[in-house]
Structure 1
Amino acid sequence: METNLELIIVDDHMLFRQGLIQLLNERLEQVNIREASNGKELLSMIRSQKPEIVLMDLEMPEMNGIETSNALLSDPAYKDIKIIVLSMHENEKFVLELIESGIHGYVLKDADIDEVIKAIDVVQSGQYYVSQHTLNAIRKDVNLSNQFDHTFEFEGEKLTEREKEILRLICKEYTNKEMADELNLSVRTIDGHRNRILKKTGMKNTAGLIKYALQKGIYSLD
């Protein structure tokens, strides 16, 4: 975990916020944690100091998590802020829609603190956190799509064998550093490959790449 992490927890339940702040302060070093009770309060706070990561609840008064996420994702001034949703919503279609909208991770509130920290670590390193629940949502969506004609699918430039190899490692949740070590390449080279894969496939993030890899038979969750 990198140092000097600026993080804001947005949730309308004070006890939840305070409990999570205590757990994170016990486990993370050199982290500055602020808190907000809803999206409106968050937007007011970040005008003076933008966080690196926002841990966002969905159901909040005045301005809920979906409205707040959309506001952050649509404003170029906040493009560097990473959003991890913390929610009790388990509907897999709903989860997949949120991930595909551009948020960086989705963690159920009944997860343990280790998963929350893993999500923060992955997102801080520049990746998208894909939980088991998100993988299940992707798997179901792909299985449903496979029942219909694929003429609607994006048909971009074909991936090279090296790009397919990197895509499989992305699906296995390798970080860019781990991929660089595995393939004896530089992290910068991996970054370049990842960006080209995103451009060729038309996907926005890791969840989209996993979905693409499953649809094309490049990777299997079985």
Structure 2
Amino acid sequence: MSPIRVAIADDQRLFCSGIQMLIESQSDLEFAGAAYDGDTIVNLAATVGPDVILMDIRMPGRNGITATEAICDRAGDAAPKVIILTTHERDVAVLQAITAGASGFLLKDTNPDFLLAAIRTVHEGQSVIAPRSTVALIQDLIPAGGKPADQSVIQALSVREKEIFLLAARGLTNAEIASTAFISETTVKSHVSSIFAKLDLTSRLQIVAFAYEHGLLR
């Protein structure tokens, strides 16, 4: 198997050097480059094509949110997976980054082994999040009271897909959804893929955020 190519975007050069050494210590990972501002990481993503990008939120030029959005919009389904790195778990920018297309977020003081596992996890198509309940985090970040329920945003979903959407939005795993809905995990995955396509979402984290943003869960 080809190594997973990892790039980092952070304006702290010493931090980038530390990440580079960590990546290069792993036989299944390859360091694909560092960028110290948002514009450079957008260009690096287009020219070098890393598999995974570790993205700081606050950088000169484009910030991590707009850089993530630009990378995901430009490359579409072929876009690298983005893991947001932040110093504050309850940073509202995390929610904006997830909406922009990030596959998850980690705190900058995350254990190195956890970071390495997260890189491998997002490369396999899963989401990652700092060690805390996804739903609890989204609830904290959505403004108190939320918006009035807007059922029209999921009108394109079938009745079954709406059921799966709401279960996924509560943070249930595929196995838990399968058990609750009395269907197979394969069928759950098929429904989730259809939900992604119809709602223009790319991750389970986005399903959670989308549901709370539109008042579909309380």
- With normalisation by structure 1, the TM-score equals 0.71
Match of 1:192 in 2: 190
| Counterpart residue number, 2:44 | 45
Taking a change above 3 Å as real, the CA distance of residues 168 and 45 of structure 1, as seen in their structure-2 partners, is: closer
The share of aligned pairs that are identical, in percent, is 23
Q: SS of the residue aligned with 2:192?
A: helix
Do the aligned partners of residues 56 and 203 (structure 1) sit closer, same or farther apart at CA in structure 2, a change above 3 Å counting?
A: closer
User: How many Å separate the matches in 1 of 2:185 and 2:149?
Assistant: 35
**Partners of 2:104 and 2:127 within 8 A in 1:** yes
Judge conservation of contact 1:53–1:82 (CA < 8 Å) in 2.
yes
Report the CA distance between 1:24 and its aligned residue: 3.1
Which amino acid in the other structure matches residue 119 of structure 1? A
After superposition, the C-alpha distances for 1:170-209 in whole angstroms (9 at most, x for unaligned) are 934569xxx8xxx7665xx554222123356665421232
Do the aligned partners of residues 14 and 137 (structure 1) sit closer, same or farther apart at CA in structure 2, a change above 3 Å counting? same
Q: 1:36–1:122: structure 2 CA closer, same or farther, 3 Å change rule?
A: same
State the superposition RMSD in angstroms. 3.7
Aligned equivalent of 2:208: 210
Which secondary structure does the structure 2 equivalent of 1:16 belong to? helix
Instruction: For residue 213 of structure 1, report the CA deviation from its aligned partner.
Output: 7.2
Maintained 8 Å contact 2:90/2:141:
no
After the TM superposition, which residues 29-108 of structure 1 pair with which residues of structure 2 at under 5 Å, given as runs? 29-33=27-31, 34-76=33-75, 79-108=78-107
Partner amino acid, structure 1, of 2:95: L
- Distance between the aligned counterparts of 2:82 and 2:61, measured in 1? 19
Q: Secondary structure at the match of 1:119?
A: helix
SS of 2:72's partner is helix
- Cα distance, 1:100 vs structure 2: 1.4
Match of 2:136 in 1: 136
Give TM-score, length-normalised by structure 2: 0.72
Q: Which runs of 5+ in 2 are unaligned?
A: none
**Could you tell me which amino acid in structure 2 is paired with residue 73 of structure 1?**
C
Equivalent residues, number: 207
Distance 1:213 1:45 in 2: 33
Q: Deviations over 1:109-140 (max 9, x none)?
A: 12222332232122101122233275433133
Q: Contact conserved, 1:93 with 1:137, CA < 8 A, in 2?
A: no
